[in-house]
């Protein structure tokens, strides 16, 4: 059923196909109790399974019928509630339903969307899910805190998006393990309008230094109240920050950073990273003279992109050779002045500048 995005009802008696191995989508219709019971018979399903219509599970008995715990061959599970499913049900029931939907511990990828509870059950992030590599928590808009995910030993990719009520990320996020997020490589936070503080857990000095020791990519988008990045990220290669108006970035603690993308106004940012190779800047209206704003130790820059920085008036030669320079959509009152002859080993493009 790949591509069947408009699916609203399952074919009758699917549950009798007890030897069925591939069924990538299952929709739970409203009021169809027998359909919920049918899913528990499909114990041989393997690979990817997306279950939508979970808002139609009205009580714990229906949730137990789904019986995901026996699906030992399901590796990729997507759980979807209706986007309109909000405060229409008892809070305790929402949490208990998701608790009953616990999958088998062999799961490698989990994606939860539009869950309406204020917190997650304990099985999400439990260390027994030792094979989990990918985890997405998307638009769980009523949740006030994140689950303890630091103990997932092989988690490599984590996406947290649309968590409207989360204000603080602290100890609860890391869990009680001595080396949280030891395998995590890619971390993305997006659309968290109330998130203000990201705290370092209470660990020993050695444990703090080992925190996020494998993280190579960090993306933070549309988190307008986030204040700072206080973590040391020794393996970070790519940092992408977008529309985080209160964020203060100071980057001497990122010794391996190669690529930096900054989009939109930041409260402050200090870049002093000799390893930085690629720098892309968009929509920073307060940027007037590039090399006065940035530290002079950016000696490894090869690729530089600047767009929609309307106050940029000075783009002097930095004293080293660039591989790629792209400057576009600069509409300041004076245009780009002080543009010295640039040496470029590859692409040199400056267009749509000035009035």
Mean pLDDT of 233-251: 86
Cβ–Cβ < 8 Å for 275, 256: yes
By residue range, what is the domain housing residue 54? 1-117
Q: What are the CA-CA distances from residue 315 to residues 257, 266, 333 (Å)?
A: 23, 20, 15
Q: Are residues 303 and 263 in the same domain?
A: no
Helix ranges (DSSP H) in 257-342: 290-293
Number of domains in the chain: 3
Q: Tokens 């209160």 correspond to what residue?
A: 246
Q: Are residues 344 and 331 in the same domain?
A: yes
| Cβ-Cβ contacts under 8 Å for 107 (sequence gap 6 or more) | 74, 75, 76, 77, 129, 131, 132
CA 15 to chain centre: 35
Determine what percent of the chain is predicted with pLDDT higher than 90: 35
User: Longest Cα pair distance anywhere in the chain, in angstroms?
Assistant: 75
Q: Are residues 264 and 162 in the same domain?
A: yes
Give the number of residues written for the chain: 355
Cβ–Cβ < 8 Å for 104, 68: yes
Query: If pLDDT is split at 50, 70 and 90, which confidence band does 287 have?
Result: low
End position of a domain, from candidates 230, 255, 274: 274
Bridge partner residues of 134 (DSSP): 109, 157
Strand intervals (E) in the chain: 25-27, 47-52, 74-80, 109-113, 134-138, 157-161, 168-169, 186-190, 197-198, 217-221, 238-242, 248-250, 259-263, 268-270, 278-282, 303-307, 322-330, 344-353
Q: Are residues 156 and 269 in the same domain?
A: yes
Q: pLDDT of 87-110, one tens digit each?
A: 556 778 889 899 999 999 999 999
The pLDDT mean for the chain works out to: 80
Q: Are residues 238 and 351 in the same domain?
A: no
217-221 and 186-190 strand pairing: parallel
End position of a domain, from candidates 231, 252, 274: 274
Q: Are residues 282 and 267 in the same domain?
A: no
Q: Are residues 174 and 262 in the same domain?
A: yes
If phi > 0 it is left, if psi is from -120 to 50 it is alpha, else beta; for residue 243 that is left
**pTM for this one?**
0.86
Tell me, yes or no, whether 226 lies in a domain.
yes
Q: Which pLDDT value is given to residue 90?
A: 76
Segment among 151-165, 179-193, 244-258 with least mean pLDDT: 244-258
CA 4 to chain centre: 26
Mean pLDDT of 334-350: 52
Q: Are residues 333 and 287 in the same domain?
A: yes
Query: If pLDDT is split at 50, 70 and 90, which confidence band does 131 have?
Result: very high
Query: CA-to-CA distance for 236 and 229, rounded, in angstroms?
Result: 13
Q: Tokens 């590599």 correspond to what residue?
A: 133
Cβ–Cβ < 8 Å for 60, 86: no
Tell me, yes or no, whether 230 lies in a domain.
yes
Tell me, yes or no, whether 84 lies in a domain.
yes
Q: Which pLDDT value is given to residue 77?
A: 94
Query: CA-to-CA distance for 256 and 236, rounded, in angstroms?
Result: 6
Q: Which pLDDT value is given to residue 336?
A: 54
Q: Are residues 197 and 285 in the same domain?
A: no
End position of a domain, from candidates 258, 274, 290: 274
Query: CA-to-CA distance for 324 and 337, rounded, in angstroms?
Result: 19
Q: Tokens 């006030």 correspond to what residue?
A: 144
Query: If pLDDT is split at 50, 70 and 90, which confidence band does 264 have?
Result: confident
Q: What are the CA-CA distances from residue 104 to residues 41, 79, 109, 125 (Å)?
A: 15, 14, 11, 13
Q: What are the CA-CA distances from residue 51 to residues 24, 26, 161, 253 (Å)?
A: 8, 5, 20, 42
User: Using CA of residue 294, residue 298, residue 299, residue 305, what is the dihedral sign?
Assistant: negative
Is a pLDDT exceeding 60 seen at residue 181? yes
Cβ–Cβ < 8 Å for 243, 221: yes
């Amino acid at each position: 059923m790949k591509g069947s995005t408009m699916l609203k009802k399952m074919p009758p008696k699917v549950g009798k196909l007890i030897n069925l191995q591939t069924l990538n989508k299952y929709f739970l219709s409203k009021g169809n109790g027998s359909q919920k019971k049918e899913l528990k018979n499909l114990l041989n399903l393997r690979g990817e399974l997306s279950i939508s219509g979970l808002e139609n599970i009205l009580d714990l008995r229906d949730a137990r019928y789904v019986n995901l715990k026996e699906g030992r061959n399901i590796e990729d599970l997507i759980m979807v509630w209706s986007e309109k499913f909000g405060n229409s049900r008892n809070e305790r029931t929402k949490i208990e339903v998701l608790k009953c939907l616990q999958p088998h511990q062999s799961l490698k990828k989990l994606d939860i969307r539009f869950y309406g509870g204020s917190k997650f059950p304990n099985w999400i992030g439990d260390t027994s899910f030792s094979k989990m590599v990918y985890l997405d928590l998307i638009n769980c808009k009523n949740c006030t805190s994140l689950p303890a995910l630091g103990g997932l030993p092989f988690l490599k990719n984590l996406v947290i998006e649309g968590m409207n009520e989360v204000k603080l990320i602290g100890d609860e996020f890391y869990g009680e393990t001595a080396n949280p997020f030891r395998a995590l490589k890619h971390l993305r936070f997006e659309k968290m309008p109330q998130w203000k503080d990201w705290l370092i857990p209470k660990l020993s000095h050695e444990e703090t230094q080992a925190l996020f020791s494998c993280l190579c990519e960090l993306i933070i988008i549309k988190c307008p109240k986030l204040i700072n990045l206080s973590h040391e990220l020794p393996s970070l290669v790519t940092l992408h920050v977008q529309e985080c108006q209160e964020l203060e970035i100071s980057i001497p603690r990122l010794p391996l950073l190669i690529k930096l993308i900054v989009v939109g106004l930041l409260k402050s940012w200090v870049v002093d990273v000799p390893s930085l190779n690629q720098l892309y800047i968009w929509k920073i209206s307060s940027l007037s003279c590039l090399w006065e704003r940035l530290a002079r130790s950016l000696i490894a820059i090869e690729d530089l992109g600047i767009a929609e920085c309307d106050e940029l008036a000075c783009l002097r030669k930095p004293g080293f050779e660039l591989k790629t320079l792209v400057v576009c959509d600069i509409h300041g009152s004076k245009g780009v002045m002080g543009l010295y002859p640039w040496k470029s080993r590859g692409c040199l493009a400056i267009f749509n500048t000035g009035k």
